[in-house]
């Protein structure tokens, strides 16, 4: 059974937190290899978010939610080594842990759109 102390969860949590920090200070030193890879692809990831959540401009999305989405979308369409159900579950867990009350449903909706659009199986 997965717990909040699961090494994979902790790894994603650290990457998400570093992405969150990077949003406010892009000159911060990036030490997490996962967040570094996400940042290199952030323009294409942000395009995906704009398509999946057209009524939410990026600057109006909760910064925590945006960090979680960037990480999850990177894992769904760029680094596809993790099964999509695991990626979605982890993103929702991060949203419950760090986001607002509406974060899990928002994250789930955006990722559902991405999965459907890209026909991820």
Note whether residue 109 is domain-resident: yes
Average pLDDT over the chain, rounded to an integer:
94
Note whether residue 2 is domain-resident: no
Note whether residue 34 is domain-resident: yes
Note whether residue 82 is domain-resident: yes
Note whether residue 40 is domain-resident: yes
Quote the pTM value.
Answer: 0.94
* Domain around 79: 7-117
Distance CA 69, CA 73 (A): 6
**Residue-wise DSSP of 2-64:** --TT-HHHHHHHHHHHHHHHHHH-TTSPP--HHHHHHHHTHHHHHHHHHHHSTTS-GGGS-HH
**pLDDT of res. 5:** 76
Supply the CATH number for residue 99's domain: 1.10.940.10
Q: What are 77-94's pLDDT values in tens digits? A: 999 999 999 999 999 999
How many domains in the chain? 1
Distance CA 30, CA 65 (A): 19
Note whether residue 1 is domain-resident: no
């Amino acid at each position: 059974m997965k717990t909040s102390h699961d090494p994979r969860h902790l790894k994603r949590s650290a990457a998400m937190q570093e992405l969150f920090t990077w949003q406010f200070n892009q000159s911060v030193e990036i030490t997490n290899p996962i967040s570094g890879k996400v940042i290199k692809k952030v323009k294409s990831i942000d395009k995906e978010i704009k398509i999946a959540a057209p009524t939410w401009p990026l600057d109006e999305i909760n910064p925590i939610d945006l960090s979680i989405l960037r990480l999850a979308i990177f894992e769904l369409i760029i680094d596809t080594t993790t099964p999509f159900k695991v990626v979605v579950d982890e993103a929702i867990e991060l949203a419950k842990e760090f986001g607002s009350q509406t974060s899990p449903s928002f994250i789930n909706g955006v990722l559902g759109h991405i999965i459907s659009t890209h026909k991820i199986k």
